[in-house]
Structure 1
Amino acid sequence: MYAIVEIAGQQFKVEKGRYVFTHRLEGDTDAALVFDKVLLVDNDGTISVGAPTVEGAQVSGKILEHLKGEKVIVFKKKRRKGYKKKNGHRQYLTKVLIEDITV
């Protein structure tokens, strides 16, 4: 059983017992979360597609930790002009454990 859920403006395919890394969410560690924007549910071959969401479907999860992602190097250069600029960026992430999918 899996579901397509919108979390923090992004769509994720989630399954029970799996982890999802999302943009930083509000809440402390071990806080319970409920996601209502379920776009699709596959229940052992029976697919329910929402218009825009599946009514009555919910995905519950738990925040495991807040962390920072891998460093991304941003390098800009204009040839023959002597212009070079190097920046780095690390995205703030939240690790969420998917506990249950209810239809």
Structure 2
Amino acid sequence: MFCEFIKVNPMYAVIKTGGKQYRVQSGEKLKVERIEAEVGSEIGLDQVLMVADGETLCVGRPLVEGAKVVATVVSHGRHDKVRIFKMRRRKHYQKHQGHRQNYTELQIGSITTAV
């Protein structure tokens, strides 16, 4: 774990969930890949890659030890449809396909760190 003192805005964290990384602050909502949890339940996201609090910046290698982000599940849903169309000109080949990705909407509650 690497910590450095620099001037940073309010507390935020970079978390990893569903194979993607998100920058989160307390109180904001975000849509992540589907998480199997009940609507209204609290979940803990413990794959925290970085935490910034005022003048302290902690970067994990690869994770920040003891850091945790607590979030509340607001809803589950599906994104808009993505249309896939493949065609070969002059070959009489056309293929239509669609996809809707599932998501879970989270309300970020608190960001805690062991430092």
> Shorter-chain TM-score: which interval?
over 0.9
Task: List gaps (5 residues or longer) in structure 1.
Answer: none
Q: Which residue of 1 aligns with 2:77?
A: 67
1:44 aligns with 2:54: yes
- Matched residues, percent identical? 39
Instruction: Work out the number of aligned pairs and report it.
Output: 103
| Runs of 4+ displaced beyond 3 Å | none
Q: Match for 2:33 among 12, 20, 23?
A: 23
What TM-score do the two structures reach when normalised by structure 1? 0.96
Residues 77-102 of structure 1: per-residue CA shift (max 9 Å, x gap): 11111111111111111001100001
Shift of 1:45: 3.1
Length-normalised TM-score, structure 2: 0.86
Give the RMSD, CA atoms, in angstroms: 0.8
* Separation in 1, partners of 2:31, 2:54: 25
Stretches of structure 2 that go unaligned for 5 or more consecutive residues are 1-10
Of 90, 95, 103, the residue aligned with 2:105 is 95
- Greater strand share, structure number: 1
Match of 1:12 in 2: 22
1:85 maps to a residue whose letter is K
